[in-house]
Structure 1
Amino acid sequence: MTSTNSNPTGRIEGLDGLRAMAVLAVLGYHLRPSAVPGGFLGVDVFFVISGFLITTLLIREQRAAGRIDLRAFWIRRGRRLLPALVTVVATSIVVARLVDSDLLVNIKRQTIGAATFSTNWIEIGASTDYFDATSPLLFNTFWSLAIEEQFYLLWPIVIVGLVRARVRLTHAAMFTLVAAAGSAALMSALIASGTSATRVYYGTDTHLFGLMLGASLAFAFAAPVPILASRRWHRLRLWVGFVGMAAVVALIFGLDHASPITYHGGIALASACSVLMVVALPGGPTLFTGLLQTRPLSWVGQRSYGIYLWHWPVFLVVSELLPAPAPGVPPTLLTALSVLAVTAILSEASYQWIEGPIRHNGFAGTWHALVGRRLMRIAAPAVIVLMALVGLSLATAPDRSRAQLSVEAGQRAIESQPALVPTTVPATTTMPATTTMPSTTTMPSTTTMPATATSDTTTPATTTIPPDPAWPRDLAVPPGELMMGFGDSVLSGAAPAIYERFPGIYIDATPILQWRDAPAIVDELRQAGTTRPVVILHFGTNAGLKDEWSVEALREVLDILGPDRRVVLLTVVGISYWIPATNDMLREVSAEYPNTIVADWHAVIEESPELLHNDQTHPNSAGIIIYAELVASALEELGPG
């Protein structure tokens, strides 16, 4: 890797300000996602900064010493990252165990991920959803640290290989630019193919482009690319920086994780705009760098690593101690201020007493400096006690939360219910004469061919669904034999009470299902002639009605059921910011269908939040009884028509 020019030397002013901007975006997203829906892009700003800074440091070392000392580099990274990480993990585990054991669900695998720099891949294997507010993990944010740590382990080796191959810096810049484009293209291709958002968002390969863009910029500066060494550039870079900042801010406030455009270039665009901010920093002070070097931003930026580590466990613990007045309601001002204050205090303490001493003096130097001091006599026993409590907490951590246990109990009840029998003659479907369908054949898409499908006509396929048995008009509430329910984990958890209130009802509910899944499920039973005249629908807990596809799926389900069936739609409950909008849309669509009624489960919980488990989403043992009665009341109001 050769060049006759020198890259910028010394500290790059303004990077701390960009770090502050990034971590504040993440804080805003977690504290008030409805106001900062794209705050998760702060992570991508971090990636660009890290790619640029680490590559710049490695190039400087190669030029100054004639070689890159990999061992020394990894030791420096360990000094920088491990002290705060170990402190946060140990402290959070113990405090969470004292506050609510549900916070420690899956903590063993999270701890393994943190210790092995593999959180992202472990959570991909576990099908975790970073954006699922109903089941947050204590170390939910560590996925991005894992990607950075993997980069720190492997990228220096790549740089050494480029040096030995005598690759020119301009060629290295192009190589990393191509790698960035490939990573962004892979993210887009996988999401288009139906791959889970977790795999696409967490994957090192699919989320590498920010690091590669930063690295490409470092190579370009080191070469340097002619435009970056020109006088014209020094006049333009002020405006380039502000344009990049304006674009990133616009994306932070305008992009939504549920939007397809986020994965089809949205995150990559935020990374590219972050490059515009970084490229404007070297070369001397400007109004842009001056803004980023203001004392508040510098203070936050210098502690951004600790703030990022601490804020999420602090948020979960404080939210348990100071819960929102109702699910779906943003944290109170007291809760938000408490999270910010505790995070700032812990980050400052970690920065001054743990991170700083070890980074400057090393592990051994810090240890020797403490030996013999009075502080050591206090700290050593405290650390021993803390580690013992960590071990005890890990050993006694629950495998599943109370909400999960209740949902699993409901699923067992659902799985043990009698099989459906047709309440109508199954849909009669005929095929062209050239096709013979065996009795077990299932058609593509949402249509299941019944056993009577034959090939005795050449007319196109037609479907006829005879009417269902009617809801007797002398009954205020229909018998369970005329009812069925479709839904997600909330309906699963409520199943025992639903069965008791409506004996004979059939329930088809599975955790994680969304409105987009509902049409295929409902239509399959309709085609088989097993759909009953009264239907309960409770989807939306996981993704709501945030986009046009979900809303169209809701309408499609109601169209499939037809105007003769009586349908109860339940509002959703949870801590996700889109809950109110989802319930409003549910009411709006219901108004278009006279045979439907909305049972306002959300209103019930607003009055009695104690009916939920601690996840603020699923009803507890008392809540499922009220849930069943709410359905009965809605049916009584709807009537047989």
Structure 2
Amino acid sequence: MSMEERAMKRGVTAQMAVEEYSRPIIGRINGLDGLRAIAVLAVLVYHLYAGLLPGGFLGVDVFFVVSGFLITTLLLREVRSTGVISLGQFWLRRARRLLPALLVVILVSTALGFLIGKDLLVGIGRQTLGAMTFSNNWLEIAAGSSYFAHTAPQLFVNFWSLAVEEQFYLLWPFGFLLLMRCVRSRVRRLGVAAGCALASALLMAILYVPGTDATRVYYGTDTHAFGLLIGVALAFAWSGGTGMDLSRPNWRHRRKFIGLGALALLIGCMFIVDAASPFAYRGGILLACVLTAVLILTLLEGTGPLQTMLNFPALTWVGQRSYGIYLWHWPALVISDAVAPQAIGTPGWWIIRILALALTVLVSALSFRYLEEPVRRQGFRATWAAASGAVARGGMKVNGAKLTAGLGATLALLAIAGILTAPAKSQVQTALERNQSIVSAATPPTLVPSAAASATADKPTDKPAAAPSAPAPGAGNAPAAATPSGTPMAYPNGDEVIAIGDSLVVTSADGLRDRFPGMAFDAASNRQWPDGVAAIGARLANDSMRRAVIVHFGTNAGVDQTVVSKALDMLGPDRMVVLVNLYGASSWVPNANDALTNAVKGRRNVIIADWNKAISQRPDLLQPDQIHPGIFGAHLYADTIKKAFHDLAVRTGGAVPADYTIVDDY
């Protein structure tokens, strides 16, 4: 049977213009392992603490470009060598490379989650199904999960990128065959790949809505495939016999400067591009992918100072194990936070998380040596046979092989038990649902304002709202009279207070209601500062705003100082306003708190409730997500606000209750 007949039997057509691909394609690209190392180290630093490297998430996009380039180059090499593509062998090679480590990470992490508890297994069935079916990103999108804000510590949140790559591995060979059959010109093939990459980047830019959670456009295969496609375009550009000539003296002379410049710019992007910034989704990620493609181009066909630098032994070692390091690092960080919660930024927190990453590297090295490489070289059957033989040869004696087999069986049983008994909801979600009824019951109604009223509400308020008649006893929802500007502001009674905010206000409702009996709420999960401005405008428009206002937004997407200033202008200078700052490991938290601090400068009637400082001293009062307060944390939250109102009253010369106290026994 001829080669073509064998290919037809597999369902693959061999009619491709193979004569165009006459240039030898090397098996290993000088310096590429070093580039992989830089990519995975950037991701590790970003997940360790995003404030250190706000754009460290771009390391994933570096991997995308490398994968698109290498996979397409391999397909072109197979076309050149045999005239056909064996899809079965192609997918088998990918399975050998990806599945062994993935399965072990799932088993170990799920088993540990079962033993530790603390919400680690919320949604684990969905996450495991997504990992095993290469659909993690779409399942998480459908479930409403967020990459940027969590109510539960997801063990496999980093698997979204594996899903995107694996979908590419499954579908791209068909696209490749179709492109090779239907488009004869190498230049046109390059154009198709580049055009599809541009379309994907444009779709991300169009679907992204500033100020909202960007998970959909970040996770989506359609909106985040451009890195892979840029790698495809680079492979078509380089691999063709009539393609770019990298042996020309001018290119060889300039290559080292271009490569070093591209690397410097790429690292610069990792320091500048922020996941909370619209620029990330409207050009920033695309720029990083283009710089990666340029960088790869300078590594091809030759040596130079860039290759020498990227071939540094430590970088090469990390790059070769980058897949395992990427798989293990996120579960290791999540589990370490659950086992030994520490206040973010404290020495203990740094020690615990650095130890988790060190353990990640160790486990990844063991996995690479004893699992990934044997399976990749020998295949599943031969590796299984060798392992089974080692167990059998031990007879009745306990040896390393038997211990490993026993450990594997135990982990499998624990993982199955974890999946079967996983809680349906996180403790945070349960608290949100319970407290939302409290908040709803204490939320004064708002009327839908007319267009004219809305326009008025959007403008800065220069004078207080008209003073209504005194409320009847017990009429806690009635608005209180505002105080003329410049006069003392007395510490508020509960029926003079309203809290407008997001999930932090909802989870703290018990504590707030205890400290401010009769207070009102206007709060719900997943709200952000633009929602706060709208809520403030609606209440000003129908006179349901109270004299003392608590405002807390930014948990989900940071803080825009301009928007905060607009909200404060709307509330005017004659209400007591407490802005609550943020606590968390998200990259935007330090800048968000700086923005809040700057927004209150020069405003006599506004003060910051330093929730960040208060909870940093008692991280044990947080829910397992390390963001929302637990039962006692809600009372600390309320006391932090109570103290802010006290300090604001003192600052303006207002009266303070004689029996004012702060409970600090939690």
Q: TM-score, normalised by structure 1?
A: 0.89
Equivalents in 2 of 1:395, 1:523: separation in Å? 47
* Residue 320 (structure 1) aligned with residue 330 (structure 2): no
1:599 to 596, 609, 630: 609
- Could you tell me which residue of structure 2 aligns to residue 470 of structure 1? 481
Picking from 538, 544, 564, the partner of 1:530 is 544
Deviation at 1:142, TM superposition (A): 0.7
Aligned mates of 1:204, 1:636 — CA distance in 2: 51
CA distance in 2, matches of 1:71, 1:443: 63
C-alpha deviation, 1:633, in angstroms: 3.2
Do structure 1's residue 401 and structure 2's residue 426 form an aligned pair? yes
Query: Are the equivalent residues in 1 in contact too, given 2:577–2:606 (CA < 8 A)?
Result: yes
Q: Given residue 555 of structure 2, which amino acid in structure 1 is its aligned partner? A: T
Secondary structure of the structure 2 residue equivalent to 1:586: helix
Q: Pairwise mapping of residues 274-289 of structure 1 onto structure 2 (< 5 A)? A: 274-289=292-307
Provide the aligned length of Structure 1 versus Structure 2. 606
1:557 aligns with 2:567: yes
Q: Does 1:202 align with 2:224?
A: no
Deviation at 1:140, TM superposition (A): 1.0
Asked if the contact 2:444/2:521 (under 8 Å) is kept, the reply is: no
- 2:159 & 2:443 partners in 1: Cα distance? 44
Name the SS of the counterpart of 1:205 in structure 2.
Answer: coil
> Unpaired segments of 5 or more residues in structure 2?
1-15, 392-399, 458-462, 469-479, 656-666
1:262 matched to 2:280? The reply is: yes
Say if 1:133 and 1:407 are closer, same or farther in 2 by CA, change over 3 A: closer
SS in 2 for 1:523: helix
Q: Which moved more, 1:231-240 or 1:241-250?
A: 231-240
C-alpha displacement of 1:285: 2.2
> Match of 1:486, SS?
strand
Query: Quick one: which of 252, 272, 285 aligns to 2:290?
Result: 272
Shift of 1:106: 1.5
2:317 and 2:81 mapped to 1: Cα distance?
A: 30
Q: 1:539–1:380: structure 2 CA closer, same or farther, 3 Å change rule?
A: same
Q: Does 1:485 align with 2:504?
A: no
Residue 97 of structure 1: CA displacement? 2.4
Q: CA deviation at 1:448?
A: 10
- 2:507 equivalent to 1:507: no
How big is the shift at 1:328? Answer: 5.5
Is 1:365 the counterpart of 2:386? The answer is no
Which residue in 2 is equivalent to 1:585?
595
**1:123 positional shift:** 1.5
How much has 1:372 moved relative to structure 2? 2.6
256, 265, 268: which one aligns with 1:250: 268
Question: Quick check: 1:13 aligned with 2:38?
Answer: no
Q: Tell me which residue corresponds to 1:101.
A: 118
- Supply the distance in 2 between the matched residues of 1:269 and 1:581 (Cα, whole angstroms): 24
Q: Give the aligned partner of residue 658 of structure 2.
A: none
Deviation at 1:528? 1.4
Corresponding residue of 1:456: none
**Which letter maps to 2:148?**
F
* Distance in structure 2 (CA, Å) of the matches to 1:253 and 1:297: 20
Post-superposition shift, 1:46?
Answer: 0.4
| Cα 1:444–1:125 shift into 2, 3 Å | farther
Q: Distance in 1 between matches of 2:624 and 2:184?
A: 56
For residues 29-60 of structure 1, what are the alpha-carbon distances to aligned partners after superposition, in whole Å with 9 as ceiling and x for unaligned? 11131121111010111011001100000011
Query: 1-side partners of 2:541 and 2:345: how far apart?
Result: 37
| 1:250-275 deviation digits (Å, cap 9, x = unpaired) | 11112111111111111101000001
Structure 2 counterpart of 1:605, which letter?
Answer: I
The code of the aligned residue for 1:117 comes to F
Q: Contact conserved, 1:20 with 1:300, CA < 8 A, in 2?
A: yes
The CA distance in 2 between the partners of 1:471 and 1:192, in whole Å, is: 36
> How many Å apart are 1:635 and its aligned residue?
2.6
1:27 aligns with 2:27: no
**Alpha-carbon separation, structure 2, partners of 1:117 and 1:352:** 25
Q: Distance in 1 between matches of 2:126 and 2:610?
A: 38
Cα distance in 1 between the residues matched to 2:177 and 2:443? 65
In the alignment, the residues of structure 2 paired with residue 178 and residue 128 of structure 1 have an alpha-carbon distance, to the nearest angstrom, of 30
2:437 matches 1:412: yes
Does the C-alpha gap of structure 1 residues 333 and 526 become closer, same or farther in structure 2, counting only changes over 3 Å? closer
Give the SS at the match of 1:112: helix
Matched AA of 1:236: R
Q: Distance in 1 between matches of 2:68 and 2:289?
A: 11
Cα deviation, residue 179, structure 1: 1.1
What is the one-letter code of the residue matched to 2:558?
G
Rounded Cα–Cα distance in structure 1 between residues aligned with 2:590 and 2:30: 43
Aligned-pair distance for 1:195?
7.5
8 Å contact kept, 2:465–2:482? no
Q: Distance in 1 between matches of 2:584 and 2:525?
A: 14
CA drift at 1:24? 0.7
Where in structure 1 are there 5+ consecutive unaligned residues? Answer: 427-439, 450-462
The Cα offsets for residues 499-532 of structure 1, whole Å up to 9 and x where unpaired, read as: 2332221101111212232111111011112111
- 1:612–1:619 Cα contact (<8 Å) kept: yes
Q: Percent identity?
A: 42
- Counterpart CA distance in 1 for 2:236 and 2:518 is 69
2:535 is the counterpart of 1:521 = yes
Matched, 1:144 2:161: yes
Q: Tell whether 2:147 aligns with 1:130.
A: yes
| Residue 199 of structure 2: aligned partner | 182
The answer on 1:627 being equivalent to 2:637 is: yes
Q: Superposed, which structure 2 residues align to 1:70-85 within 5 Å? A: 70-85=87-102
Greater CA drift, 483-492 or 227-236: 227-236
Post-superposition Cα deviations, 1:397-418, rounded to whole Å, max 9, x if no partner, equal 2222223322222112112336
Give distance in 1, aligned partners of 2:278 and 2:173.
34
Residues 339-386 of structure 1 show CA distances to partners (whole Å, capped at 9, x for unaligned) of 232011110111111111111111111111222313554443332222
Matched letter for residue 10 of structure 1 = G
Aligned partner of 1:497 in structure 2 is 511
Quote the residue 2:477 is aligned against. Answer: none
Q: In structure 2, give the amino acid aligned to 1:638.
A: L
**Are 1:7 and 1:221, in contact at CA under 8 Å, matched by a contact in 2?**
no
Residue deviations 1:233-256, cap 9 Å, x none?
Answer: 233322222121111111111211
CA contact (8 A) 2:55 2:269 kept: yes
Identify the residue that residue 56 of structure 1 maps to in structure 2.
73
Q: Report the equivalent of 2:663.
A: none
Task: Give the distance between the partners of 1:352 and 1:540, measured in 2 at CA.
Answer: 44
Cα contact 1:306–1:347 (8 A) shared by 2: yes
CA distance in 1, matches of 2:465, 2:455: 13
Greater shift after overlay, 520-529 or 510-519? Answer: 510-519
1:562-581 equivalences in 2 (<5 Å): 562-581=572-591
Say if 2:122 and 2:423, in contact at 8 Å, map to a contact too: yes
Contact 1:486 1:508 in 2 (8 A): yes
Secondary structure of the structure 1 residue equivalent to 2:203: helix
Deviation at 1:581, TM superposition (A): 3.7
Q: Structure 1, residues 171-205: CA drift from partner, whole Å, max 9, x if none?
A: 21111111111111111122258875111111111
Normalised to the residue count of structure 2, the TM-score between the two structures is 0.85
- Corresponding residue of 1:453: none
CA distance in 1, matches of 2:449, 2:607: 37
Contact 2:54 2:587 in 1 (8 A): no
Structure-2 residue corresponding to 1:241: 259
Alpha-carbon distance in structure 1 between the residues aligned to 2:140 and 2:67: 23
Which whole-Å CA distance do the structure 2 matches of 1:537 and 1:82 have between them? 48
Distance 2:251 2:595 in 1: 50
- Identify if the C-alpha distance between structure 1 residues 441 and 259 changes in structure 2 by more than 3 Å, giving closer, same or farther: closer
1:447-472 CA deviation, whole Å, 9 max, x = no partner?
699xxxxxxxxxxxxx9942353379
Aligned partners of 2:152 and 2:428 also within 8 Å:
no
Offset at residue 89 of structure 1 (A): 0.8
